[in-house]
Structure 1
Amino acid sequence: MACPTDRTMQSLAAAPTYALVIFAAIVVLLEVGRRIGERQLSLDPVGARTGIGAIEGAVFGLLALLIAFTFSGAASRLDDRRTLITEEVNAIGTAWLRLDLLPPANQPALRQLMRDYVDARIAFYQGLTDKQTAAQENARAMAAQLNIWKQTVAAVQQMPSPPLGISVLQALNEMIDITTTRSVALKTHPPLIIYLMLLALMLVSALLIGFGMAGSARRNWLHGTGYALVMVSVMYVILDFEFPRLGIIRVDQFDQIMLNQRKSMDEANAIIPTLIEPSLYRNI
């Protein structure tokens, strides 16, 4: 599955509707399986259930294994995305500090470009639910990246000892590289066939459970609806892990780290005059 697009957004926005449809389908298949089982029992009371245990064991085992791997993978990818947010903020912070190594005349313009770049990155992730906004902010961030790199290279070439500026270029390179890593992480999801297979196994298992419930005098709606609710909830949580900016499980709180970094840039700029004023007074 790709990075959120209009089609993906519409699908995820309709997730509650899909959940209700799947819930209803599981309940219906439970009843269908029960009726098939009752018919088989009426035709062959002794052999109707022969060999069913092995089939049920295989299907339920495969279902449990697929849920475990899918859930574990989604949770792992969520943790990776959170870690990458921290790594990008660290890279931006390092690059911001190393601008001090450049000639003073070049620093103001570069610092303003850095602020604009961080603003664009914040707006990009906050606007992922809107494809057009995300594309515009991503283009703005890429343009700022290019300008920062070009102006830094020019500043390093003007330095009396250019090797001192190498660490600045290295920090900027890491800041740029992490954007590619986060972009890949944003697009990394299991293939659609995995979710379709998981859904198919849920429906088949519902049919088998209904078949196994045949023969009872009364329908056990509590167990049937409980099973349907659990399966739908598991599927919903897995998708929530995969798209943590669209559902209940979110990484928005980790964006506060980036916001704090952006705030510190303004505070650092405001501190400079207060540091200079005492020397001015002494000179007077």
Structure 2
Amino acid sequence: MLGLIIGFTFSMAIARYDLRQTYEEAEANAIGTEFLRADLLPSKTAETIKGLLNEYVDQRILFYSKQDHETAKQITQRTAVIQNAMWAELLPIARTQATPTIALAISGMNDVINTQGFTQAAWWNRIPIAAWWLMAAIAVGANVLVGFGARNFNQNIGLFMIFPIMISISFFLIADIDSPRGGVIRIDPRNLIDLKQNIAPKNSVTQSRGTQR
């Protein structure tokens, strides 16, 4: 019974971990696509949008790093500020130039904002507290029964310690995988880091050309 519950909970944790990885990849793809679509916009707006996207990637990479609650809150607030700034840049263009190419750029920005929301929701989606209480209650009961059965087997006490140790390791592993911001097993934003390396030089070139003009 305990093994089934631990296995089910472990599957829940793995599924959530995989979902967070998937959304990290989706974010990088959406930002990279919008960075390219920004060239469809008027040159001044495109330059501003690319600069904001470059800052935005920095915040998204920081989001995946290990930090305290207050710092994470500041990163989320800064992310929202950049999102609003990007949308404010696009809105006048969308209202005055309702063309298919502009609509494509607007759609790309919508994907950027949506994927960030999906990522945040996935990080909030944790194993329910009720499941932890149920596992803990069953684990305590199972260990009590093992201890009761081992009271007359002092010579083999080491063998009976295997069960509680394995339970403890299982609980630690599940808790670690289910904790996206802390722990040992965490999401590595390698797609976002790779994107940053690809767009930063392009952004610098775009800015230098704009300055020369």
TM-score by length of 2: 0.89
CA offsets, 1:62-90, max 9 Å, x none?
21221111011101111111111000100
CA distance in 2 between counterparts of 1:180 and 1:272 reads: 29
Question: Does structure 1 residue 107 correspond to structure 2 residue 43?
Answer: no
Query: SS of the residue aligned with 1:238?
Result: helix
1:84 aligns with 23
Question: Does structure 1 residue 177 correspond to structure 2 residue 114?
Answer: yes
CA distance in 2 between counterparts of 1:203 and 1:236 reads: 15
Question: Does structure 1 residue 135 correspond to structure 2 residue 51?
Answer: no
Aligned partner letter, 1:168: A
Overall identity of the aligned pairs, in %: 28
1:193 aligns with 130
4+ residue stretches of structure 1 with deviation over 4 A?
270-275
1:57 aligns with none
CA offsets, 1:187-219, max 9 Å, x none?
111221211211111111112123333554x44
Aligned partner letter, 1:123: L
- Give 1:265 shift: 1.4
Choose 1 or 2 for highest CA Rg.
Answer: 1
CA distance in 2 between counterparts of 1:194 and 1:157 reads: 50
- Give 1:269 shift: 3.0
1:146 to 84, 103, 122: 84
Query: SS of the residue aligned with 1:174?
Result: helix
CA contact (8 A) 1:101 1:164 kept: yes
CA distance in 2 between counterparts of 1:250 and 1:215 reads: 44
2:172 to 232, 236, 255: 236
- Give 1:99 shift: 0.4
CA contact (8 A) 2:150 2:160 kept: no
TM-score by length of 1: 0.68
Aligned partner letter, 2:71: T
Uncovered stretches (5+) of structure 1, i.e. residues with no partner:
1-61, 276-284
Question: Does structure 1 residue 257 correspond to structure 2 residue 191?
Answer: yes
CA distance in 2 between counterparts of 1:227 and 1:124 reads: 38
- Give 1:262 shift: 1.4
CA contact (8 A) 2:47 2:207 kept: no
Aligned partner letter, 2:45: N
Change beyond 3 A, Cα 1:274–1:135: closer
CA contact (8 A) 2:54 2:199 kept: yes
- Give 1:272 shift: 5.4
Uncovered stretches (5+) of structure 2, i.e. residues with no partner:
none
- Give 1:245 shift: 3.6
Change beyond 3 A, Cα 1:273–1:211: closer
> What's the Cα RMSD here?
2.1
CA distance in 1 between counterparts of 2:150 and 2:90 reads: 72
Change beyond 3 A, Cα 1:158–1:226: same
Question: Does structure 1 residue 166 correspond to structure 2 residue 103?
Answer: yes
Change beyond 3 A, Cα 1:204–1:219: farther
Change beyond 3 A, Cα 1:179–1:270: closer
- Give 1:237 shift: 0.4
Query: SS of the residue aligned with 1:106?
Result: helix
After superposition, where does 1:2-151 map in structure 2 within 5 Å? 62-127=1-66, 129-151=67-89
Change beyond 3 A, Cα 1:193–1:246: same
